[in-house]
A and B are shown apart, each in its own frame.
Chain A
């Protein structure tokens, strides 16, 4: 879950990072109260969950209150790359003598946490050709023991710092490693980490992403910082999506969730090693209008599949549901079939009419097919492609 800049900065401030003084404004009407507390020059920063805000015109430097008001009013009524601007951060400008890049994340190829640091931070540090790879310091972070002080100093030395700067930068590196591990982050990026004229290291911008599967370990984000759970898109989940997440949380077995609501009329139960996107696209290509995206797999319980089926069928206008997965070895076909049939029946629907397509080949498929036959559900095996199954599902909608 990606946090907005001001949320990330609140958390980092509480963990000892130096953050510029700022205030959050959500409506133009709040400016009268907010502006007197802002030191100028200042930055007016749209709070949207994307990078490259500066280049998109969503970060504006202002010299006085009047310019701040103009910029704020302009940003608050607009969008930045499709995202509505629902909040602004008005923040004192930092006098920057040097810009650094600092990040902690997971290398998904090497399957370990890594720390990245560079003496060349700024807007283009991640662009190919802008940051020379040999100037990026990379160090593996042991997630069990964290980062020792001497290791943080080694990173600072490799970045090219010495003396007080080395000690100051190393302190931030260690804080970043601690925050990354303590908050169950998948990404903590500070760019730029600004060195001020006075030699202090200040977090000028921060990007925090918290592992959604670990949010239960971070209840203070919601209760303390009032950061609502939100989708990767940055928006708050709809009621339908929230209820789907509750279904997925019924027990630990498998996945029957990760639902995104759409405005169509064909319910989808899809999954299997990336097949959910393939099936979703195929449904659309054949003229279907999905009511939802979702992912199922990893052998969810019958109850979870049944509850998700009921939930999808509860949406107004959704008469049918397509069940399409890749060939699965870790998900039992018969258990998925039980869940979908049970969900249809509990929703008061006839499974044979409601299930527009059932294409889940894999383990225990013969058992599943026996079950589907019993309830009059049309099904197909791996001889029928995901694309063809999608076409058939859409055709049954017509």
Chain B
């Protein structure tokens, strides 16, 4: 279980199987992987998240949320509005 960062993918919104690999391809620290037609989070890599927000910017359905556990702050696609998708 991660200590500092929790990355969550909303399965209702995720279109990974349709096909979309935006988050998997863009994450520089390999937090995402394809799993049962959806984007899954590799738990052991969550604390490596560098808060680059690229996944938030690229996800076409705002399915990703990044929770900074040490600051009680949640970052979503709304935080990076205006970024190219």
Q: Which residues of A contact B (CB under 8 A)?
A: 301-303, 332, 335, 338, 341-342, 345, 367, 370-371, 374-375
Enumerate chain A residues within 8 angstroms of B51, measured Cβ to Cβ: 367
Residue B50 lies at the interface, judged by CB distance under 8 Å to chain A: yes
Enumerate chain B residues within 8 angstroms of A370, measured Cβ to Cβ: 70-71
Q: How far is the CB of A184 from chain B (nearest CB, A)?
A: 29
Residue in chain B with minimal CB distance to A345: B3
5 A-B pairs with CB atoms under 8 Å apart are A301-B29, A302-B48, A367-B51, A370-B71, A374-B71
Size of B's binding interface in residues, CB under 8 A: 9
Q: Which of B24-74 contact A (CB under 8 A)?
A: 29, 47-48, 50-51, 70-71
From A303, A332, A371, give the contact of B4 (CB < 8 A): A371
Enumerate chain A residues within 8 angstroms of B71, measured Cβ to Cβ: 370-371, 374
Contact A301/B48 with A370-B71, A374-B70 known, Cβ cut-off 8 Å? yes
- Give the CA-CA distance A375 to B69 in the complex, in Å: 12
- Give the CA-CA distance A341 to B3 in the complex, in Å: 9
Chain A-chain B contacts (Cβ-Cβ < 8 Å), number: 26
Interface of chain B, helix or strand or loop or mixed? loop
Residue in chain A with minimal CB distance to B72: A374
Seed contacts A303-B48, A338-B3; 5 additional CB < 8 Å A-B pairs: A303-B47, A332-B50, A341-B3, A342-B4, A374-B71
- Give the CA-CA distance A345 to B2 in the complex, in Å: 12
Q: How far is the CB of B25 from chain A (nearest CB, A)?
A: 19
Task: Flag if A302 contacts B70 (CB, 8 Å).
Answer: no
- Give the CA-CA distance A302 to B4 in the complex, in Å: 11
From B29, B48, B50, B70, give the contact of A371 (CB < 8 A): B70
Enumerate chain A residues within 8 angstroms of B50, measured Cβ to Cβ: 332, 335
- Give the CA-CA distance A54 to B29 in the complex, in Å: 53
Enumerate chain B residues within 8 angstroms of A367, measured Cβ to Cβ: 51
Task: Flag if A342 contacts B70 (CB, 8 Å).
Answer: no
Enumerate chain A residues within 8 angstroms of B70, measured Cβ to Cβ: 370-371, 374-375
Enumerate chain B residues within 8 angstroms of A302, measured Cβ to Cβ: 4, 47-48
Enumerate chain A residues within 8 angstroms of B29, measured Cβ to Cβ: 301
Residue in chain A with minimal CB distance to B69: A374
